[in-house]
Structure 1
Amino acid sequence: MTKVISRLYSRSENRRKIISINIILIILLVSITGCSDTKSDEKETIRIGVSVYDSRDTFITQLMDEFNSYADPDVTVVTYNAGQNMKEQNNQMQDMIDGGCDVICINLVDRTEPEQIIDLALSYDVPVIFFNRELTQEDLQRSDKFYYVGSDAMESGIMQGELAAADILDEGTNIDTNNDGMIQYVMLQGEAGHQDAIVRSEYSVETLIDSKIQLDRVGLAIANFNRTQAQSKIEQLINSDAQIELILANNDDMALGAIDAYLNVYGENAKLEMPAIYGIDGTIGGLEAIKMEYMRGTVYNDKEGQAHAMYDLAIALATGRSLDDLGIEDGHYIRLPHTKITLDNVNEYLYQ
């Protein structure tokens, strides 16, 4: 009997142990499921939405390449191409909001029509970093969560003018090929009404005039920051027998288009016929053209610095970190300085 009781006690004890274990497992399962449900409601990663005005723009493409390579692997970056269509960019803004983006970066198609993007940002209380194409100060100040990352267009125009002036005043360059005491020039301008294009053009020319250089404008071509359009415009001027001693381009793509035009028209003799050509941006293609001595100089627009500044600001906004050490000016602006690039220092930037 004692042995039977002992065996029954043992079985009863085992059953209690099994029940206890099962209860513990159930509690753990409920706990784990509860954590899972909680986490599913929380964001597992930071999401940054980006809309660029046109992915065919070389500078923007290289800036975004740097932005993506600089981003942390656990941060999701979703990029949209507006294709120069403001309505499409407005739709992309809604898509990024609906997609749960913590911060949205906008490279405006039209700086004069940001109303819908601003209204959406205000309605959903989402931070927006505008970059490269600057909206008006009044629009930027509509929210303390609006920022602009870019450069100073006036500075780039002045530096381009200084580069050209230094070469013109250097007797060894002989830019005044017809020796008439004036420089016949063409301005390759970006989009009509585009603030940066207007400012770059204006200050480049003013700087040359302030340097006591006599100018004779033989062409003003709107080429929309586009290489192919610039080539077409310059070829038209070449074929019209226009005397061109200097070409000032608002960006490197248009400067490269001017070079393409001379190569296409003159072939192997292109360098002999080519005027002094200057760009702005310091794209890889522009730097290579300086290295090959097709272009005299460009103004380096710090795409790496802008990409890093934009990303660091986005992360700080998404995580609530302090913005104190990000170099923000007037509560809304981060501007990166330009640098003059010539044959003397091009390798420092081409192979950095």
Structure 2
Amino acid sequence: MLRKLSSLILVGVAGLAMSGCSGGGGTDGAATGSSAGAGGGNDKIVMGFAQVGAESGWRTANTKSIQESAAQAGIELKFSDAQQKQENQIKAIRSYIQQKVDIIAFSPVVESGWDTVLKEAQRAKIPVILTDRAVDSPDKSLYKTFLGSDFVEEGRKAGQWLVDEYKDSKDPVNIVELQGTTGSAPANDRKAGFQEVIGADPKFKIAASQTGDFTRAKGKEVMEAFLKSTPKIDVLFAHNDDMGLGAIEAIEGAGKVPGKDIKIVTIDAVKDGMQALADGKINYIVECSPLLGPQLMDLSKKVLAGEQVEPRVVTEETTFTQEQAKQALPERKY
């Protein structure tokens, strides 16, 4: 009788241990995939992913890539949407630490203010991967790798197109700039890269520069203000397609022709942006691929297997003219 009772207690304890390792339901908006314990084993990788939000077509495609790639790789994904608020991301990361996930990945809303929560993950021996956006912490041991685009290079490519476009002109070129979210890595870096290239020629002047928060609605709103406050606008540089698309609405509303009266260069190459480029409303797009999911899952498996990974993994990207956009659109995945 005692032996039978002991066996029942052991089975009960083992069951509790297994339910704890599987992670259970997500909290703080975290969505949970299939249960790690459902197949009878605890070897399934559990990833906590804290996304910036759903502020653009690019971000929506990025989220889809991560979710689909996790499912294909057999990784259980706990997902949270921070709605572009750093405090929500920090809360989600702390929730993942409490749930004892195997690995944490996130795209930081802004560059600063992450050391405390990343040190908490480090103490819990949970590795962290940065995706799409970097942090400005001097302590590189707080994360295993950063997977994403070279935003400075994207800004340079946008600037180089402008320099080439106006190489035969001696007249001043008045530029307005729609920046991404204030304090974010892409906004800081794209601005720096763009300025680096155009700054070599004094005829290029940024007449106005303001954040449009990477959203179409804000891009339209800020462009409307630019059109009222800046008498002569030759070029719009938008840090992403969505802001550029919002700006096109404002330009057309003001009775001007986007792509002709005001030349437009943007970054991302999402389908709506590419269509506007093909239609001649945008003049040039620098690609920033959101399809980071497969690389993220591959890096996660390597990190958890104890393999060495590069501290910086750059995604391969290109640029598009109007004709190139027409050719690429039929096969565009996002």
Identity of aligned residues (%): 20
Q: Which of the residues 303, 325, 339 maps onto 2:290?
A: 303
Please give the per-residue CA displacement for 1:134-173, whole angstroms capped at 9, x wherever unaligned.
Answer: 112513x134x5321111121101111112222223x7xx
User: For residue 54 of structure 1, what is the amino acid of its counterpart?
Assistant: G
SS, match of residue 344 in structure 1: helix
TM-aligned CA distance change 1:316 to 1:235, over 3 Å: same
Q: Which of the residues 193, 206, 209 maps onto 1:203?
A: 193
Which residue of structure 2 lines up, in the alignment, with residue 61 of structure 1? 60
Any gaps of 5 or more consecutive residues in structure 1? Answer: 1-25
Greater fraction of residues in helix:
1
Map residues 201-240 of structure 1 onto 2, 5 A cutoff. 201-210=191-200, 212=201, 214-240=203-229
Which residue of structure 2 lines up, in the alignment, with residue 163 of structure 1? 161
Map residues 174-323 of structure 1 onto 2, 5 A cutoff. 181-210=171-200, 212=201, 214-240=203-229, 242-266=231-255, 270-271=257-258, 274-304=261-291, 306-318=292-304, 320=305, 322-323=307-308
State the TM-score, normalizing by the size of structure 2: 0.80
Residue 93 of structure 1 pairs with residue 79 of structure 2: no
SS, match of residue 49 in structure 1: strand
Any gaps of 5 or more consecutive residues in structure 2? Answer: 23-35, 37-43
Which residue of structure 2 lines up, in the alignment, with residue 50 of structure 1? 49
User: For residue 107 of structure 2, what is the amino acid of its counterpart?
Assistant: N
Which residue of structure 1 lines up, in the alignment, with residue 323 of structure 2? 344
State the TM-score, normalizing by the size of structure 1: 0.76
Shift of 1:225: 1.8
SS, match of residue 135 in structure 2: coil
* CA RMSD after TM alignment: 2.8
CA contact (8 A) 1:163 1:340 kept: no
Shift of 1:51: 0.5
Aligned residue pair count:
303
Which residue of structure 2 lines up, in the alignment, with residue 78 of structure 1? 78
Larger Rg: 1
CA contact (8 A) 1:255 1:277 kept: yes
Which residue of structure 1 lines up, in the alignment, with residue 130 of structure 2? 130
Distance 2:261 2:96 in 1: 46
